[in-house]
Chains A and B, each alone.
Chain A
Amino acid sequence: MLIEGTTRGASANIRGFFLIPNIPPGRYVLAASSVGYVKKEILFSAAYGAPTSLIVKLAQKAVQMSEVVVEATPPGSLSQINTSLRVMDQKEVRSVPAAVQEDIFRAIQILPGIVSTSDVSSHFYVRGGAGDQNLILLNGMKIYNPYHAFGIFSVFDPDVVRTTEVYTGAFPAGYGGRLSSVVNMVTREGNTNELSGKSSANFLSGKLQLEGPISSTMNGLIDARKSYSSRTLHDFLNKDLPVSFYDAFFKVTQRSAETQARYSFQGFFSGDNLRSQQPDQPDYTWRTRAVGFAESGWILDRVLLDAVVYESYFEGRRDAKSSTVITPASTSVRDPGVRANATLYTDSKDIYFIGFEFDFPTLTFNLTNNYGIQRNVSSTLAEGQGWIRWQSEVKPWLIDAGLHLDMTGLLFGTTGIENLLPRINVSRPIFNTWRLKLSYGHFIQNIVTVNNEDDVVSVFDAWTEIPDNLPPEKADHFVVGVDGNVFANLSLSLQAYYKIYSSLVSYNRDKISRFDPDYVKARGDASGLEALVRYSVPSFDLYGAYSVSAASIISQGLTYPPRYDRTHSLNLLAVIRPFAGMSVSLRWEFGSGFPYSQTLAFYNKLSLNEFFLNPFQLERGSPYAVLGPKNAARLPSYHRLDMSASYSFPISSLRGSAGLSLVNVYDRHNIFYFDRKTGQRFNMLPFFPSATVSVEF
């Protein structure tokens, strides 16, 4: 937002609010522009002592055919300060080739530093951090495990999400409770002028979206997707994809005509079933949902308040069926919470953020442990966080600094001032368009997921509280980066990071009896280099992201790479627009193999569990796998080529589009899971063609 003829302006925040302070009385023209939208000019009057409220609606450009300038960090944006922030709008998400249709999480995994262990991943991993160290927010609501089986979709429909902020490290005050990253999604509110909708179908699922005004001050949006039955997939594609899923999102928004404040009731629901046709292979079920009430608006002339009250829920189940070696298990998280943030705009253009978040997750984990006992572990935490954050320009530096207070330990008197977590991001121009960026942050996490660290690939993770005998997990991030334009059409971003994990939760390898704790404190580190290249001309976009990284965990004198340590990761994306309405995209993804522990042999193991009652010499044993050094070997590398083509066209007053997508074009058999108890291997998505037809009105 820029007032023409002046140097005054502001960037809208992630929810679309902006404030330009201290405008002298008079008549002005506000020029509003954004990448991918038609620039708009609005005439307005400013009066002394009275705020002027403007509503700016930008229309999307059809196809960008003019000269393209790629900017590593758009001027005036938050990403101009932060080293590790990428903001993706709907257009960027859609530029990433879809497996079957656009997908936010598939899109963000193209960013350097983010890797997935599988197409079926229940987690992604950021800069050497574990999968449970990512904070995922949807309109401020904390979401647990928002993934669909087989990784074809995330549970968030890109048609619903307006903007996605991804912090891959050193995230600012205001985000806490996780050590590695933040994915902050803000949804659209729906069409305020007229009823509109979208319906689409592909080989895997169908979707319906409706939005529009409910009254003069209220509008709504509803969106739902559901897979066809596995039988349909088998008949239609002759492929066994034992997966079924659904997801749905709704949002009803009431606007205040006077203050432009928005009050929303929102919810999303998703579910997955992964069913094996083998009677001795387990079935998996996941359910995720969140419901909340949100408010966003000006409470004072210069104070913007965002608040949300929500309840988030996650449940995962493993049904062992007739398996004799796999046991049933379930896990759930029920997390009611409240989050509020006030943004204060000052005359000096400094911006202050003050906020808090309290949530009360109840974590349950049911399992049959190795002693053969059915364990039901349940705990409820009171997680509390508060923050103050300051953004300013002290020439030539841009500064984003803050303090984040993790009150979880303070509430129970288990920790003290060490939970005051400093966060700082600074940047300055160095030459031409190039900027230097530096970041530091300290982070704490109080809940973790547990799984069998010796599985080749973990499929089932359970959330649990960090044991009482251990401190919370802690990490420090140090990031340095430079970015700028090599040419007008070519931008480059380089970043280096070093993360110190001063406290992690790890198996107690010295445990002998029930008097010894299951877990002990470990430490670790992660470091890496990342490069992001973007090239764009009117009919062609090229995007390349490469990262090289190394992570290690040190526990009880043993140093080993964590299971999600991927040394090399490369993502290449090309988007070709041969003519108006037509888009062809290709994405090739490569990742070097993840670590695992090799099986060196099996032997017949006796339990001797009744040696003083029954003669051990008659005991029947069972096969036992002797493992090699922990995570000393690597799985085969992962690579996959996806292609998609789509064509948009008008159908009288409607807009239609047709698309074809090819997943895993050369049918790479990327390993998903290997059960060393049965020797069975499961691969990730095979070659999978799909066509999508959609109609919008």
Chain B
Amino acid sequence: MVGCEEPFSPKGPFLDRTVVFSLLAARSDTQFVRVFRTYYPPHDNPYEVDWETPDTSVRVVLSDSTRSATLSDTVLTRGDGSTVHAYVAYPFHIEPGQQYSLHVAEPGRQEAVSSTTVPGQGSVLIENYEALFDLEAHRFDDLHLDVEISPQAAAYLPRLSVEFQVYSTGAVLEREVPLDLRTSDRGNEIPVYPDITHVASTGQRSYYFTYSLHAYAYTLRKIIADYGDVYFRQANCYLVQTDQALYVYYNVANGFRDAFSIRMDQPDYSNIEGGLGVFGSYNVDKKSYELPSIISIPATL
């Protein structure tokens, strides 16, 4: 019996593109750009090839209105000893509020171009920070965070964490544990951490967040339970601001960060003209509040 095979491959005309990933962090001096190429696995199985293979023959230029730097190819080492190719610029200081452009060029291929405006200076503070170390007096309060974001920011993320020291085998270790918004001893709630939120369409720049004081007390107790003798050092408030491209990519590439979604597709997003990937930026502002090394936690919390 003669078979009647008709070959099939879901491949279309190969999209030969440069893939670029780069995030600029405000006030940092070292900038990284990872560059890949699109590829076709020989047998349609994308896992049968080393998909992390970098594109090492390109010219990567990062510039702002006054400077331009050609990045050099370098090898980074992960914690597990594996290595990563990246292009690096050092020193190249990133100013908040400044626009930057990225050009990735390789002879014979379309140039990949993108730009980002780094979010400017923001601010975050705890309105009633006394509650951090005098829980008894504020046991009926919550922790109120006031957030002010810059005009360049498309999205923002407030975070609150507790920093402490713990002695282990003769060494002092620094640790930091994030708080979620509402987990307490009183329920088995699923931790809810603030998520990156797009600025309001009204252009509103001031926002207000509430962390449950119960959640704060719960975190302190858990730190003590997990680490034993600890010395609390400070509570850290962070304000992460992102540009539009990073906000969109971060959501789309991570299932819309939607716990309730039933979508099964994996859509893509890119702001790289002539290529794929994302070129974005973010700014992290920090405000710390010193804590007593030992904090009294009321039983009622």
Contact = CB atoms under 8 A, between A and B. Distances in A.
Interface of A: 325, 365, 367, 369-373, 375, 377, 450-454, 456, 462, 464, 507, 509, 511-516, 518, 596, 598-609, 611-612, 615-618, 620-628, 633, 635-636, 666-669, 671, 674, 676-681, 687
A365 B260 CA distance: 12
B41 A679 contact: yes
Given A612-B157, A633-B12, A602 B38 contact: yes
B209 interface: no
A600 B21 contact: no
18 contacts: A371-B255, A371-B259, A373-B255, A456-B10, A507-B265, A511-B256, A512-B256, A513-B258, A514-B258, A518-B261, A602-B38, A602-B51, A621-B51, A623-B41, A626-B38, A666-B1, A669-B3, A681-B8
B186 interface: no
Given A596-B10, A600-B11, 16 more contacts: A371-B258, A509-B267, A511-B256, A512-B198, A512-B248, A600-B13, A601-B17, A601-B40, A602-B39, A617-B32, A622-B51, A623-B51, A627-B268, A666-B1, A674-B10, A679-B48
Nearest to B12: A598
A606 to B, nearest CB: 5
B125 interface: no
Interface stretch (B57-65, B164-172, B215-223, B276-284): B276-284
Contacts of B13: 600, 628
Given A606-B21, A618-B78, A626-B276, A452 B1 contact: no
A616 B255 CA distance: 18
A606 B32 CA distance: 14
A309 B92 CA distance: 75
A369 B11 contact: no
Contacts of A628: 12-13, 15
B11 A608 contact: no
A602 B40 contact: yes
A450 B263 CA distance: 8
A600 B15 contact: yes
B297 to A, nearest CB: 27
Given A667-B1, A669-B3, A370 B261 contact: yes
A514 B157 CA distance: 15
Given A602-B51, A603-B38, A625-B46, A375 B260 contact: yes
B250 A676 contact: no
A516 to B, nearest CB: 7
Contacts of A620: 52
Nearest to A606: B21
B253 interface: yes
A269 B174 CA distance: 63
B126 interface: no
Nearest to A605: B253
Contacts of B34: 606, 616-617
Contacts of B262: 365, 367, 369, 375, 377, 450, 462, 464, 518
A369 B259 contact: yes
B263 A603 contact: no
Interface of B: 1-6, 8, 10-17, 19, 21, 23, 32, 34, 36-41, 43-48, 51-53, 76, 78-79, 84, 86, 157, 159, 195, 198, 238, 240, 246-268, 276-278, 282, 284
A373 B17 contact: no
Contact of A607 (B14, B86, B248, B253): B253
Nearest to A674: B10
Contacts of B8: 635-636, 671, 674, 681
Contact of A514 (B51, B259, B282): B259
Given A611-B250, A618-B78, A667 B2 contact: yes
A618 B32 CA distance: 10
A512 B10 contact: no
Question: Which residue, of B32, B44, B238, B262, has the highest number of chain A Cβ atoms within 10 A?
Answer: B262
Nearest first, the 10 closest Cβ-Cβ pairs linking A and B are A679-B44, A598-B12, A370-B255, A371-B255, A623-B46, A514-B258, A601-B38, A679-B45, A600-B15, A452-B264
A514 B252 CA distance: 10
B256 A600 contact: no
Contacts of B48: 679
A618 B255 CA distance: 21
A606 B246 CA distance: 12
Main secondary structure of the interface of A (DSSP, over half): loop
A514 B257 contact: yes
A551 to B, nearest CB: 20
A18 to B, nearest CB: 49
A149 B76 CA distance: 50
Contacts of B32: 615-617
A618 B76 contact: yes
Nearest to A627: B268
Contacts of A464: 262
A514 B253 contact: no
A205 to B, nearest CB: 23
B123 to A, nearest CB: 17
B257 A371 contact: yes
Given A598-B10, A606-B34, A612-B240, A687 B84 contact: no
B9 to A, nearest CB: 8
Contact of B45 (A600, A605, A609, A678): A678
Contacts of B36: 603-604
Contacts of A454: 265-266
B124 to A, nearest CB: 13
B6 A669 contact: yes
A680 B246 CA distance: 34
B115 to A, nearest CB: 18
A617 B76 contact: yes
A456 B12 CA distance: 13
A512 B252 contact: yes
A667 B251 CA distance: 46
A108 to B, nearest CB: 26
B246 A608 contact: yes
B1 A679 contact: no
Contacts of A603: 17, 19, 36-39, 51, 276-277
A626 B251 contact: no
B246 A679 contact: no
Contacts of A607: 253-254
B12 A599 contact: yes
Nearest to A669: B5
Contact of B259 (A373, A606, A624, A666): A373
Contacts of A371: 254-259, 261
Contacts of A512: 198, 247-248, 251-252, 256
Contacts of B1: 666-667, 687
Contact of A608 (B40, B84, B249, B268): B249
A667 to B, nearest CB: 5
B268 A609 contact: no
A369 B257 contact: no
A168 to B, nearest CB: 29
Question: Which residue, of B21, B40, B247, has the highest number of chain A Cβ atoms within 10 A?
Answer: B21
A665 B134 CA distance: 84
A373 B195 CA distance: 15
Question: Which residue, of A451, A456, A512, A668, has the highest number of chain B Cβ atoms within 10 A?
Answer: A512
B213 to A, nearest CB: 25
A601 B261 contact: no
A278 to B, nearest CB: 13
A620 B11 CA distance: 25
B11 A617 contact: no
Contacts of B19: 603-604
Contacts of B11: 598-600
Given A371-B255, A464-B262, A608 B46 contact: no
A513 B259 CA distance: 10
Nearest to A620: B52
A152 to B, nearest CB: 19
